[in-house]
Amino acid sequence: MPTLAVYPGSFDPLTNGHVDIITRGARLFDRIIVAVLINEEKKPLFSMAERVEIAREVFRHVPNVEVDTFDGLLVDYVEKRQAQVIVRGLRAVSDFEFEFQMALMNQRLNGRIETIFLMPAEQYTYTSSRLIKEVFRLGGRVHGLVPEMVEERLRGKITTRTSA
């Protein structure tokens, strides 16, 4: 039976840390679904359509990476897609507590689904979507930490916001 994994997240925006984890997942599993959370309350900087478009473009040449959206409970989505595994990235000990809670809650909700943690390459251990947005907004350099497409879009957004 092919192993299907789901890599859920907000991806606002996709970082090279995410790209690294997805690439590792694509090597380990027959298929990995990047599942973008539909979360209107969080007021994302990047729209749902943009987040999906960016991930699809970055993984255009990787046939076993699929990009989809989901809302509601993650375990329900994983079950619906007939996947067996949830992939999450662990960057540092500080990620562990929340990730551990989520993994155990998901295990309680559906014992057939396993959560697997993957570590990104060392150079991405301090990269997060939140910090990327903050650093970029304040004029800092994020080159090399996000896909080029994200950097271009960030430039467009910040210019639009400041000239508005």
The nearest distance, CB 163 to ligand PNS, in angstroms, is 30
CB closer to ligand PNS, 37 vs 58: 37
Residue 127, SS3? coil
- Annotated active-site residue in 24, 51, 88, 129: 129
Question: Which residue in 65, 51, 54 sits closest to 21, CA to CA?
Answer: 65
Q: Which two tokens stand for residue 3?
A: 């192993």
Identity of the residue, 10 or 64, whose beta carbon is nearer to ligand PNS in the bound complex: 10
List strand residue ranges (DSSP E) for 90-164, in order. Answer: 114-118
In the chain, the amino acid numbered 156 is G
What's the min distance (Å) between Cβ of 74 and ligand PNS?
4
Count of residues making up the chain: 164
Catalytic residue among 18, 24, 51, 133: 18
State in angstroms the smallest separation of the CB of 17 from ligand PNS.
11
Q: Which is nearer to ligand PNS, 40 or 63 (CB)?
A: 40
Main-chain phi, psi angles of 144, to 5 degrees: 90, -15
Nearer to ligand PNS, 67 or 74 (CB): 74
Known catalytic residue at 60:
no
Q: Which two tokens stand for residue 67?
A: 């990009």
Selecting among 51, 88, 91, 153, the annotated active-site residue is: 91
Q: Within the chain, how many helices (H) and strands (E) appear?
A: 6, 5
Q: How far apart are CB 72 and ligand PNS at their closest, in Å?
A: 7
* Residues forming the active site: 18, 42, 91, 129
